[in-house]
Structure 1
């Protein structure tokens, strides 16, 4: 795919420079925050294995191969939720789909906390995985559809910040419960993930439904009422409604049956291009190895010379703080500097930090007591997670959510999430085997090559989308 000619074009639908800036409406922010908080549970359930595996192995005799499968299989299981989320959200609505995700996040952690062996743990990981798939799809879709163009980059970044907040909280949980008896410590780590679900589900039911979903169902008056509450100005609310009605009348309702929208994938080049961008962006987000650090950080640092379990779990908390905190930078800049500059800086920084990390393992393999090597390794890992989190981490979801046409948004987001979870599962379920086969240095050099390829893809293929309405995207990508 070539760089789109409209990449540097003037922004459609942007207010005249002489007009005073509209006062931003805070109501859609609170709605998007509440919807996105379910992502905390997704991040928690994926990453809690990072520390829990140490104690599970001792308590239940779990092998390295079983740890590898349990760590990564939740991402494969999330495909079920991701592929069902588009169908569910188009029929039940965005709100009830978020509530359903919380139900899975209650049942999954409880099943794992009560597990007596490997098979029962797999059942719990399956249930939590389905919830993860739902959360990954529906939170950014709802945020994108509720947000005015002026704050869409910020609001669709929220699920990623909450995912990483969940990751950080899982690391804190690992550290906090590590002092308990072995047979209790890992069970408490899992059980803590189910506590917030009832409160979150109740809160979600107080939110308005997506105006685009309401319009798709012919409930235009309700859609207008929601737009009046979530737009920056009454004029913007009216304009958003007209644009949504135009899209719906030209085929937006076809997603209810799926056939009309998917026929366009086969017949329209613009629709195929958008889906190809979404799938490729999600492929690169995970195949560059971020989840190897999220789930195996203590193992990586142990091989770099850090020997204390307490220090390893404490450094994991540091990584979580760095990862979650860095997304605040992306949230602040996405609607100011644009998507492309952040994505290019991110993928370039990831490539450089992975090369440094690989070179450290290549040059100082086996240096168990070298404090300097361990310190530089920690710095390189922190640099990698920061680079990922200021761009590719949150903006892959932002970009994917906003470029998909309305009639394909739920199902297209589900496909993108499926690609994301497949690659995350592949990376996390092969990491131990990979570094044992080609060395830790070889594994990180491989991830660096993928990160470099993602830089080229962003530069060559992604036009800027900052400031455009969701309906403008259909003009930009020729999907209308």
Structure 2
């Protein structure tokens, strides 16, 4: 059929639909991230009642709120090795079981020391979940929708935070000694359903090939790929990365010990190639800056920040905190649909730039309120604080939040992925623990406005760091990532990738 000018018209090829099986697998695996989100959200409100019921100091308060992040280091460090040993799927089940025990211990805690034991057990479970969920999701996702699917862990972290806020408000009417125990103990419920749901998932095809189980891996790849051709291409790429000959079609093959995780730390830390060194810097760096820009201070201490901003009533503080949870969850949903359209790099840079403005606005508003004369109450700084907090969490959720997990899980080579991601998560948890356990002390030392000016300064450094070092990874297969890395400056890596694409097109 021709148009008015005689030019033949044609229908563009239909865009392939998202793979529903890969979507379901990613959804189930990422649900483990609810555990961390719920704990973060619920502790922000529960601590108001824990402090009164157990009669703890401000220092004990910030320790109990942030210590879970430090404890989770043990889980994330062990998860890399565990997932290479028993598989990604059973590691997720293990994470749910550990958190279940921790939530019950916290719910039944009668003393501060008892509560800290529960925080330790729950923290180990959270560390396992944080590391393994994005790794599994990246390994089952087809390249066309990997950004969308690997953003799911951050989606569920935000959903868990919102559930925690709702739980705070729902149980706040109970007697003081019961309310906070129900808030913490209810966290055991989702871990049971998560562990059972994960059993319905297949194992990661990349892990299966690392074990020499080619037949099982082919079945999973056929189900999680957008076409038979993509399935064959993914299989060939993974076999090459695992050191298995391409002409090998046996269902079960012998693999070297390296496929079981031996020698990974040497190749990752002690004798890395230039590409691996660049990848490691990027993965650890993005995890560090995600937390160093103050997100946990805002999420964990929302009631305290709203109190300093002029909202004195505890119920109103919890309601305002719920608004933070709703905005954060809404914008993470928006981000999931932009990651495979706008790309990682553009979203990341625009997100951090917006966060700088929001943090500066919050710092200015809090500083003005803090220096107000007694009896004189200005409304504009209160409005500025509320708008800045909501815009900050929205901008974080649309870029910095999900891209941290997407980026760090897709850039490592297959054999180094589990352990490399565990290092990123370790940096994330250490930084989060330091930030959350020092926030109250920091506000006393340099004022609450000064604390957020400091976070804004860190965000400026992060923006420069990302601009210089981070190439675009959208649309590249996991096995192609090493072609984007190995040069220090971003524009040199991008030029290298463009040249390779041109060579492919020519050939």
TM range (shorter): over 0.9
Q: Which residue of 2 aligns with 1:417?
A: 425
Looking at structure 2, the residues matched to 135 and 308 of structure 1 have their Cα atoms a distance apart, in angstroms, of: 36
Per the alignment, residue 186 of structure 1 pairs with: 180
Cα gap change, 1:30/1:422 in structure 2, threshold over 3 Å: closer, same or farther? same
Check if 1:32 corresponds to 2:40: no
Aligned to 1:76: 70
Selected match of 2:435 from 427, 433, 437: 427
Q: Deviations over 1:210-244 (max 9, x none)?
A: 00000000000100000000000011101100110
Q: Distance in 2 between matches of 1:260 and 1:369?
A: 59
Aligned partners of 1:252 and 1:407 also within 8 Å: no
The correspondence of residues 258-273 of structure 1 with structure 2, limited to 5 A, is 258-260=262-264, 262-263=266-267, 265-267=269-271, 268-273=273-278
Kindly report which structure 2 residues correspond to 1:86-101, keeping only aligned pairs within 5 A, or say none. Answer: 86-101=80-95
C-alpha spacing 1:264/1:327, structure 2 compared with 1 (3 Å): closer
- For residue 166 of structure 1, what is the aligned residue in structure 2? 160
Query: 2: CA distance between counterparts of 1:123 and 1:316?
Result: 27
Contact 2:78–2:128 (Cα < 8 Å) also in 1: yes
Larger RCO (alpha carbons 8 Å, 6+ apart): 1
The answer to whether structure 1 residue 47 and structure 2 residue 41 are counterparts is yes
1:337 aligned partner: 342
Structure 1 residue 249 and structure 2 residue 243: aligned?
yes
Which sits farther off after the overlay, 70-79 or 56-65? 56-65
Q: Which stretch shows the higher mean deviation, 369-378 or 102-111?
A: 369-378
Give the whole-Å Cα distance in 2 for the aligned partners of 1:274 and 1:127: 31
Name 1:449's counterpart in structure 2.
Answer: 457
Give the SS at the match of 2:186. helix
Q: Distance in 2 between matches of 1:370 and 1:298?
A: 20
Aligned length: 463
Looking at structure 2, the residues matched to 345 and 143 of structure 1 have their Cα atoms a distance apart, in angstroms, of 25
Aligned match for 2:124, one of 124, 127, 130: 130
1:199 is displaced (CA, Å) by 1.8
Kindly provide the CA deviation profile for residues 338-394 of structure 1, in whole angstroms up to 9, marking residues without a partner as x.
001100111001100000111112223154844432222111100111111110111
Deviating beyond 4 angstroms after TM superposition, the runs of 4 or more aligned structure 1 residues are: 250-253, 366-369
The question of whether the paired residues in 2 share the 8 Å contact of 1:107 and 1:127 is answered with: yes
Q: 1:111 & 1:346 partners in 2: Cα distance? A: 38
For the Cα contact (< 8 Å) 1:216–1:253, is it kept in 2?
no
- Say whether 1:294 aligns with 2:299: yes
**Residue correspondence of structure 1 range 58-457 to structure 2 within 5 A:** 58-249=52-243, 254=258, 256-260=260-264, 262-263=266-267, 265-267=269-271, 268-367=273-372, 369-457=377-465
Query: What is the TM-score with the length of structure 1 in the denominator?
Result: 0.94
For the 8 Å contact 1:71–1:429, the answer to whether it is kept is yes
Contact preservation (8 Å) 1:214, 1:223: yes
Deviation at 1:262, TM superposition (A): 2.4
Whether the 8 Å contact between 2:328 and 2:393 is mirrored in structure 1 is yes
* 1:163 CA drift (Å): 0.5
Q: In 2, distance between residues paired with 1:247 and 1:150?
A: 20
- 8 Å Cα contact 1:109/1:193 also seen in 2: yes
SS at match of 1:348: helix
1:91 & 1:332 partners in 2: Cα distance? 34
* Maintained 8 Å contact 1:252/1:406: no
In the alignment, the residues of structure 2 paired with residue 390 and residue 80 of structure 1 have an alpha-carbon distance, to the nearest angstrom, of 29
Offset, 1:478? 5.2
Q: Work out whether residues 305 and 370 of structure 1, in 8 Å CA contact, stay in contact via their aligned partners in 2.
A: no
Deviation at 1:57, TM superposition (A): 1.2
Unaligned runs of 5+ in 2: 1-11, 245-254, 488-507
Q: Deviations over 1:152-174 (max 9, x none)?
A: 00110000010010011100000
Does the 8 A contact of 1:78 with 1:134 survive in 2?
yes
Q: CA RMSD in A?
A: 1.7
Alpha carbons 1:154, 1:335 under 8 Å: kept: yes
Shift of 1:462: 0.4
Give how far 1:253 is off: 6.0
- CA distance in 2 between partners of 1:307 and 1:265 (Å): 50
Distance, in Å, in 2 between the alignment partners of 1:332 and 1:272 is 31
Distance 1:189 1:261 in 2: 40
1:32-75, CA deviations, whole angstroms, 9 ceiling, x for partnerless residues? 00111111112111331100011111111121111100000000
Aligned equivalents of 1:295, 1:187: Cα separation in 2: 18
The alpha-carbon deviation at position 469 of structure 1 amounts to 0.6
